[in-house]
Amino acid sequence: MKFSVVITTYNRLNLLRRAIDSALEQSIPCEVVVADDCSLDDTQSYVETLQHELSLRGDFRLIYCRSSINLGHAATVNAGVEKSSGDWIKFLDDDDYLAPNCLEEMENAIAIHPDAAICSCIAAQVSENGEEFSRTPQLGPGLAYYIPQADIHYGMLLEILPFGTPVQVACDRKAFLKAGGWDTTMTSCDDIDSWIRIAQFGDGIFLNQCLAFRTIWSGGLDQKIALQQRLHTNILMKEKIYALVDAKHHGNIPALQDMRHYLQLHWTLVAIRTKNITNILKIIDTSILSFHAWRLLVLVALVRRSRHNNIHLRKFVLIN
């Protein structure tokens, strides 16, 4: 099995260096593809110089591809995967980085369960200086938790199964291509949209080990997305997942309209917490009066608490 680490970047050389180093320093050999979305800083000269220095030592693992115009994050991911040659793709944004044993642990888990199409892990949330704030929760029992394909979309719909951000996720390259790559029309949640589609083609694996580091900082894309846009995109994701839930779970899922009301309520409460009157007025509607929305809100909160407390997830079933 061969991994390709696809690093997407745009004008963040100061952070990109760390991401590249973390990929090149993996405990197993891997290909490293830097996909540059037409950066205007010194990214090109840095990567090409590093590429030359490595080649002088007989190391040809680093590949560089650069778009001639700025195409956006999703298109840059697709370009990087196109240049890759690995059996599995490990996604990595330029402001994040990997633990040295990330790929080795993923490879070990995939070897035991070769029908997997997607693999994720725990991530530490860190500052630009590497100071850890928190970690994403453990999922299920043991060091490696396997999710049959027929259960994945059910788990994603009810927020039992969050695969997470690109730094946490790897996928089978063939599954990526069957899913059609990342949707270049999306400006947010393009990663989640991809996980939804990739999960149609195999089982899932979640490693209960901290193998990734996600930088939380003012320059992060998620800090720039308006709450109203987050709400609308969140609803779109749920609608896509809803359509893919396996028939065996249809008796245990809430009505789609109730899911929409729940999301409306959730983001209304987020707006209230942030004390942003403009956001509250844009988002608030009659969903705050929906019994089913409040019920889902409470049950999802219990599921999230169960993950933090390492309680077996299958005991939580939402029944309409």
**Which pLDDT belongs to residue 43?**
98
**Which pLDDT belongs to residue 281?**
58
**Which pLDDT belongs to residue 315?**
36
What is the Cα–Cα distance from 112 to 233, expressed in whole angstroms?
35
Q: Are strands 31-36 and 3-9 parallel, antiparallel or unpaired?
A: parallel
**Which pLDDT belongs to residue 223?**
53
**Which pLDDT belongs to residue 229?**
82
**Which pLDDT belongs to residue 200?**
98
Helix axes 256-273, 291-308, angle to 10 degrees: 70
**Which pLDDT belongs to residue 232?**
87
Tell the burial category of 207 from Cβ atoms under 10 Å away from its Cβ (0-12, 13-18, 19+). Answer: buried
- Which parts of the chain register pLDDT below 50? 308-320
Tens digit of each residue's pLDDT (9 = 90 or more) over 291-307: 777 888 887 777 766 65
**Which pLDDT belongs to residue 313?**
42
**Which pLDDT belongs to residue 79?**
98
Domains (ranges, CATH) in the chain?
A: 3-222 (3.90.550.10), 224-315 (no CATH)
**Which pLDDT belongs to residue 312?**
41
Pure H helices in the chain: 13-24, 43-56, 73-83, 102-112, 149-157, 173-178, 190-198, 227-242, 256-273, 277-283, 291-308
**Which pLDDT belongs to residue 276?**
65
**Which pLDDT belongs to residue 36?**
98
